[in-house]
Amino acid sequence: MNALRQFYLEIPVVTRAYTTVCVLTTLAVHLDLVSPLQLYFNPTLIVRKFQIWRLATTFLYFGTIGISFFFNMVFTYRYCRMLEDGSFRGRSSDFVMMFIFGGVLMTFFGIFVNLLFLGQAFTLMLVYVWSRRNPLVPMNFFGVLNFQAPYLPWVLLCCSMILGNTVWVDVIGMGVGHIYYVLEDVYPTLSNGYRLIKTPYFLKRLFNEHIERNFQAAAEDRPGGFPWGGEGQPLLPEDIAADGQDEEPANPAAPVAAAPQ
């Protein structure tokens, strides 16, 4: 039990919270504590009856306990953790912001395609973002098909089609994942691009990731004349000279540190 408890506590906080709530929700339905009819996405009941919880529970229920539920939980846990341990390491607040962004878009699209539960679409979003951020990772599908990570969402889409499942779940998950990937990883790298998805400051404080603003580094910590912590303008020669007027002459025998290129 101690080993199991230690393993559980080592799971990153966002992954641990989401997967735990998903499992507890499914167990509550299995034990007849709640009914799936109280959990599914219904815009009419949300608006007219103020059943706001349905906006969250539609992402938490993965069907009755069985093989399908097991595979969904494994996929959700695996790719959620790899994202949080990888590209979101030390940025749990940004990871939560991705959850919120994806949830809002999926809820909007879900209105038009009449999907009751969006948990599998949410998992596909996680898989898609991970696959685009790890394009060189080799994948193997049941020892039969070898491919690289960016093709994984498409392989899962084909599997859904073969099994006769609705493809709208996969399409929405991949679509929302692609929108997030473009806005977060592609557009900011363009010449006039910038980040459109910004994490609120209160989320950063919640995860103790807030950064002290308007920090001004000391002159001796600004090698090469670059204004570290400044507004991005290079220091003028007279500014550099003024910084060294009150300093003792350097020892001619002391080694001179090279300025960074």
Distance CA 189, CA 64 (A): 43
Calpha distance 112→5 (Å, rounded): 42
The whole-angstrom distance between residue 188's C-alpha and the CA centroid of its chain comes to 16
- pLDDT mean by block of 10 residues, the chain; 261 residues: 86 94 94 92 92 94 88 91 92 94 93 89 94 90 84 89 84 95 91 87 84 45 37 44 46 42 43
Residue spans of the domains in the chain: they are: 1-207
- Tell me, what DSSP letter sits at residue 66? S
- Whose tokens are 């204004």? That residue is 227
The helix/strand/coil state of 43 is helix
CATH fold of the domain at 1-207: Rhomboid-like fold (1.20.1540)
Q: What is the pLDDT of residue 211?
A: 59
How far is residue 241's CA from residue 50's CA, in Å, rounded to a whole number?
67
pLDDT at 229: 39
Nearest Cα neighbor of 216 from 200, 227, 202 is 227
Token pair 């998805």: residue: 197
Q: Which pair of tokens denotes residue 132?
A: 């685009």
Write out the two tokens for 178: 């692609």
What pTM does this model have? 0.76
**Nearest residue to 182 via CA among 109, 101, 115, 254:** 101
| Pairwise CA distance, residues 105 & 109, whole Å | 6
CA dihedral 220, 232, 89, 77 (to 10 degrees): 180
CA 172 to CA 50: how far, in whole Å? Answer: 25
Residue with tokens 């039990």: 1
**Cβ atoms of residues 29 and 22 within 8 Å:** no
Q: pLDDT value at position 159? A: 86
The answer to whether the CB of 124 falls within 8 A of the CB of 153 is yes
Q: What is the pLDDT of residue 210?
A: 65
Q: Looking up tokens 């007027």, which residue turns up? A: 245
Distance CA 180, CA 189 (A): 14
Strands (E), the chain: 138-141, 145-148
Total count of residues recorded for the chain:
261
- Which amino acid is present at 173? G
